[in-house]
Structure formats: structure tokens, C-alpha cells
Amino acid sequence: MTKNVLITGGTRGIGLGIAKALAKAGCNLAVNGRRSAELVEHTIGELAQLGSKVVYCQGDISSPKDRDTIIRTALATFGQIHVLVNNAGVAPLQRNDLLQCSEESYERVMNINLQGPFFLTQKIALHMIENNLNSDGCIVNISSISATMASLNRAEYCLSKAGMTMMTRLFATRLGAHNIPVYEIRPGIIETDMTAKNLKKYQKLIQNGLNIQSRLGQPEDVGKVVATLVGGHLPYSTGQVIMVDGGLTVPRI
């Protein structure tokens, strides 16, 4: 069957890599982003050219009102949502030392990266249960190696991703009786607009052996893994973490 997938933050970076992989796999896409429809028209058109039916669901996932709008738009187009990919996330506007992290920055990052995905997942999970999508549905959370690796100048980001790890476990446990698997993917250093400001630093670190695989990750590396999960190829692995980090987190001596 053709699956209908809601992807948050799906118009750029990792989210766009995921959207392209799922479009190629034949999924219908409800692509969320905060920018106006006019600014993403070309991107949405490119996805549609890959053979999928695509609808743009504008909205900020940190807003309860926008979350409802995003879901309504997707359901108005497709009728059902089989898969949710929680990808949308932000880095701190400024990288400050842990001891200078502001409440404003903390709240912004946590609201977008954790609170928004939590309550969006809650609503989508209820939809999946009510529509008996247990044989077709799944939820995929895009976390980060920062869920376990400490970055003292991105404390709020690390905390938000660590929270997503527990969120994955909680929803996997709750939805197990409904046979709806929940997965977490932890990308490493992926070449996107989020990492662009520190790209030269990361390239040098990788050249000096930071990763086992001596290259930056690409959005399509994450997209291929998501397509595998959405395709139902890991049905007995709910609650598990899949690393997409080029071996960065493998302990070595």
C-alpha cells in the first residue's frame, strides 16, 4: 500500500533528504515547515516530480494551534496519516557556555525540539489507534548524537535530544499493544544549513580521525534509513536507536 507520511521540518536539510527518499519509495508526503508556501514552492514541486502526491503543511510545531492546523491539512488531503517523522528541530541562536545559557534560549529550543514533537506524536498516535493503522503505521524520531555526547556550548540542544530518547522509549512502550513501532535515529555530523557555520571545523576534525568513515554525513544517509523503517523492514525493533554517524560514537583506543 501507499503510505501517507507527515514529516516535520521537511523542506530543508535532513528533513528534505528524508522527504526525497520517501518520495522515491512511493510514499505520499505531508511536508511541514515554518516558511510561507511561496518560499518552498520549488522544493514541494521537486518532491512531486519524484512521483509522490505532496502537500505543504505550514506551521510551527511549538504552537498548539499550528500543530492542529498541520494535522488538519494532512488529513484533508490524504484522509489518514500512517507515519510520523519528527524531524523539525533548531540549534541555539547563540552558542553560549553552559553557565551562560539563558532561560529564553532554553525554552525556545525545548519547545521546538521536544515539547512540540511530544504533543504532535500524542495526537498522531491517537489517530493511528482510532483508525486501526497498527499494521502500517510507525513513528520515527530524528534525534542526534547530542542525546548522549555533551556539548557545553549547546546544553539546551543536548537536553532536548536526550529527552527525545526517553520520548521514543515511552511511546514505543505505550504503543506496543497496538503494534505501532517507534524508532529513534541519531545522526552524527550531517552537512546541512545547521552545521554550515562550523563546517570547516567539522571537516578538519573528521580529517583527523573523528569518524571511522572519513566524510561528513549527507541528508540522504538519514533518508535511506528512514525509508527502511517506513518500509517495514525492521518490524521487531521498536524502541531502538539507529546511529547514522559514520562510526563517530564507536569507542576506540
Active-site positions read 157
Distance CA 148, CA 159 (A): 9
| Spatial separation of the C-alpha atoms in residues 86 and 106, rounded to whole Å | 19
> Beta partners for 28?
4
Strands 83-86 and 4-7 turn out to be: parallel
Among 4, 40, 207, CA closest to 124: 4
Put the strands of the sheet holding 54-58 in their side by side order.
54-58, 28-33, 4-7, 83-86, 138-142, 182-187, 241-244
Backbone phi, psi, residue 56, to 5°: -95, 130
Cell for 164? 527525545
Lookup result for grid cell 518560499: 39
Residues 6+ apart with CB under 8 A from 196: none
